[in-house]
Amino acid sequence: MDIETFRKYCLSFDGAMEKLPFEKATSQYDKDLLVFYVADKWFCFVNIEKFDFCDLKCDPEESKDLQEKYQGIKPGYHMNKKHWISAYFNGDVPDSVIKELVRKSYDLIVNSLPLKVQQSLKDDK
C-alpha cells in the first residue's frame, strides 16, 4: 500500500477529514504527521514522508490479541498505550488487516460521539 491509496481509504469514511497539525513541531518526524479525524476526533495518523506505520484507536482486548499475533502491531506511538496501536506497513500485517483496523478505529470514534453528531454524519451522505 502507498500513502495515496491509504489516504484515499481514510478519507472515504463519512465526515472524515485530514490535517497536518504539527507543522511547527521541532521534530521533522512529527512535522510530517498527517492526521485523519471525524468531528474533531482523531482516528488515525501517519507520517507522510516515511509512511512506515499508522496509529489507530483500538479496543484494549483486541490490541493485546493483535500484538501477540503480529510483530508489526505495537503500542501506539505518542498515544495512550492501552487504547492506541501502531500498525507497521510492509511487514507481517497484511494491508487488508490494516484497512480493517482503520475502519474499526473510525467506528470506535464515531460510536463515542453524541447521537446527534452520529446522525449528522449519516445525513451528510
Alpha helices (H) in 12-69, listed in sequence order: 28-31, 60-69
Per-residue pLDDT reduced to its tens digit, 81-107:
789 999 999 899 999 999 999 999 999
**Could you tell me how many residues make up the chain?**
125
What is the DSSP secondary structure assignment for residue 102, as one 8-state letter?
A: H
In the CATH scheme, what is the code of domain 3-112?
Answer: 3.90.1150.30
- Every domain of the chain and the residues it spans: 3-112
pTM, entire model? 0.92
For residue range 34-82, list pLDDT tens digits in order: 999 999 999 999 999 999 999 999 999 999 999 999 999 999 877 777 8
